[in-house]
Amino acid sequence: MSLQSTRQVQYPRFWLSVDPIKPSGRFQERIDRTGHWAPPRPLHSNEYVPGYTTRRWFEFSNWRTREVESQEVNGKPPYKTYSFYMSNHKIWIYRSDATHYKVGDGSGNPRITSGAASDDEEDESSSESSSDDDDRVEDWVPLKFRWPDEINSSGVSYATTRGPYDRLRLQRPDQVVLRELLPDQYLATPETQRPRRPYGGLIGELPILIALIAYSVRPNEVDGALVHCLRRGYRSYNRPRGGGWNQQRGLVVRVFRNLGNPNEEALDNGRLSAPVRALQLLENGYYGKFVE
């Protein structure tokens, strides 16, 4: 998007929640092809965890984050909702709420209880969801990166679910905050490190960047980390690295946006509303990198 087309864009404002989730225990654990635990797929196989930041809301406005009452979010349109799990320092992502829908084909074996079905009986959860959800084919996918062509000269990386790369493109030795946010497997290799600004940096989809902040701290520190770290760019919280990278730790991150002009909000006008454009520009680094 050109600078000319964004002169009148609104500054970004959004509301977010970070709800802890966990496997419900109703299904046998799923193991991926590398032999490690993978998030469950069936309907009712994931559930919310009470406490911490569950059902709490935060507002990002004027480049600061603060906690707000849930009533402030009433009537606000959803922007993006993503679910996350951590497994062996690998971040899995599902682009919806895994507590409400089956994931992928919904496959999974129920745990054996007295009178329960056998291990090889087909999981009924794949047929439990309504016909409205039959077109949900997205599965859990690992965190990926894109290297946007238009700004590749600086080597910035875009965090997403639909990228071809497993690591950051470039990274400076002084970018220690990237080590706070990302396990080693996502960091740039020594061969792609550059010593000077403006090389390196991170931008990306809002739910993913928010989840990285949440995972950088322990569950009981997420509220403080959101308020402290989520500014015009990321501000370090100075906690021990990896303190929140717990095995099978799950999250649902929801982002809601402002209402735009009623004419822009119409479904058939073919244009994005100003609040949506502002959030997309924020994700794409128009206002600056999330990590410089």
pLDDT score of 150: 56
pLDDT score of 265: 58
pLDDT score of 120: 35
Predicted confidence band at 6 (pLDDT cuts at 50, 70, 90)?
Answer: very low
pLDDT score of 95: 97
Find the mean pLDDT for residues 175-193: 90
User: In angstroms, how far is CA 142 from the centroid of its own chain?
Assistant: 11
pLDDT score of 243: 93
Find the mean pLDDT for residues 226-254: 95
In this structure, of 16-20, 23-27, 134-138, the range with the lowest mean pLDDT score is 134-138
Structure tokens at 5: 């087309």
pLDDT score of 173: 84
Q: Is the pLDDT of residue 34 over 90?
A: no
Rounded distance between C-alpha atoms, residue 271 and residue 71, angstroms:
29
Q: Is the pLDDT of residue 105 over 60?
A: yes
Sign of CA dihedral 60, 16, 14, 284: positive
Structure tokens at 63: 């480049």
Find the mean pLDDT for residues 218-226: 96
pLDDT score of 266: 53
Predicted confidence band at 28 (pLDDT cuts at 50, 70, 90)?
Answer: very high
pLDDT score of 175: 87
Judged by phi (left if over 0) then psi (alpha if -120 to 50, else beta), residue 51 lies in left
Mean pLDDT, rounded, of the chain: 84
pLDDT score of 154: 80
Report the 3 state secondary structure along the chain: CCCHHHCCCCCCCEEEEEEEEEECCCECCEECCCCCEECCCCCCCEEECCCCCCCCEEEEECCEEEEECHHHHCCCCEEEEEEEEEECCEEEEECCCCCCCCCCCCCCCECCCCCCCCCCCCCCHHHHCCHHHCCCCCCCEECEEECCHHHHHHCCEEEECCCCECCCCCECCCCHHHHHHCCHHHCCCHHHECCCCCCCCEEECHHHHHHHHHHCCCHHHHHHHHHHHEECEECCCCCCCCCCCCCCCEEEEEEEECCCCHHHHCCCCCCCCHHHHHHHHHHCCCCCCCEC
The segment with the largest mean pLDDT, out of 27-31, 146-150, 191-195, 212-216, is 212-216
According to DSSP, the β-strands at 202-204 and 157-160 are parallel
Rounded distance between C-alpha atoms, residue 93 and residue 107, angstroms:
17
Q: Return the percentage of the chain with pLDDT > 70, whole number.
A: 82
Find the mean pLDDT for residues 156-165: 95
Predicted confidence band at 1 (pLDDT cuts at 50, 70, 90)?
Answer: very low
**Do the beta carbons of residue 100 and residue 254 sit within 8 Å?**
no
Find the mean pLDDT for residues 34-44: 94
User: How do residues 192-220 score in pLDDT, each as one tens digit?
Assistant: 777 777 788 999 999 999 999 999 999 99
Q: Which residue in the block uniquely carries the two structure tokens 């950051």?
A: 168
pTM value?
0.86
Q: Return the percentage of the chain with pLDDT > 90, whole number.
A: 65
Rounded distance between C-alpha atoms, residue 245 and residue 34, angstroms:
19
pLDDT score of 151: 54
